[in-house]
Amino acid sequence: MFINYLLPKKYQLIYSQIDVILNIASFFIALWATSVSINGISISNYSYVSSTLSFYLFVDMFFLPFHKLDIIFHHLIVIFLLYQGIGSTQRFHNQITTLLMMTEASSIVLGPGYIIRKYRKDYPSLSSLMNIAFAISFVYFRILNLTYGLVFDVETFYVLEEKRMSLTTFGYYSGISSLAMFLGLQYYWLDRKSTRLNSSH
């Protein structure tokens, strides 16, 4: 959408020709983000983590077609939340940043699963296995774990209250709203995937 706006018609990109590269990049970023969330994020390495992830999301966003507005919206929310994390305490990173980055664990099987479905249609059982693995990881990391961490974990309330002291009223509520939209987007994707699955049967 963005890149093609700048390119002459004969040089414009076709998403179906670059989506494999984007899925491979997504796999490695998801692997890295999951590793970072498991090992922990310190204040000293947060600028590296946030700038790396923001750069990837920003570049990836420019290669997405117009009909993937939900993913563009996701990227913008995450970039904003990464910006909000600058200057936060170690307690904040342990509770919020780690929780958000852990959602990328489900994307580890998303990219390879897409490539298998596209190029290895002669292995339907492998494709089905990847679909099941993605569904389980999506529900666990992006629905159950994220919902518990943001809504029901008391530590999150204390961390956000602590964060409120260092932000303006607008900054604080825009951050809270972004977290709510990030969580809501996961439920939107879950509903869309469930609807698609039901319609295929």
**Could you read off the pLDDT of 140-182 as tens digits, one per residue?**
999 999 999 999 999 999 999 999 998 889 999 999 999 999 9
- Which 8-state DSSP code applies to residue 95? I
In degrees, to the nearest 5, what angle opens at C-alpha 142 toward C-alphas 140 and 147? 90
- Give me 141's structure tokens: 């990391």
Write the single-letter amino acid at 76. L
Question: What is the model's pLDDT at position 195?
Answer: 78
Cβ atoms of residues 99 and 150 within 8 Å:
yes
- What is the pLDDT averaged over residues 77-90? 94
pLDDT tens for 97-119 read 999 999 999 999 998 888 888 77
Question: What is the model's pLDDT at position 200?
Answer: 57
- Give me 48's structure tokens: 């590296």
Question: What is the model's pLDDT at position 175?
Answer: 95
Q: How far apart are the first and last CA of the chain?
A: 33
pTM over 0.95: no
- What is the pLDDT averaged over residues 129-137? 93
Given a cut of 80, is residue 41 above it in pLDDT? yes
Cβ atoms of residues 16 and 8 within 8 Å:
no
- What is the pLDDT averaged over residues 42-64? 92
How far apart, in whole angstroms, are the C-alpha atoms of residue 32 and residue 50?
A: 12
Cβ atoms of residues 189 and 182 within 8 Å:
no
Closest alpha carbon to 113 in 26, 194, 29: 26
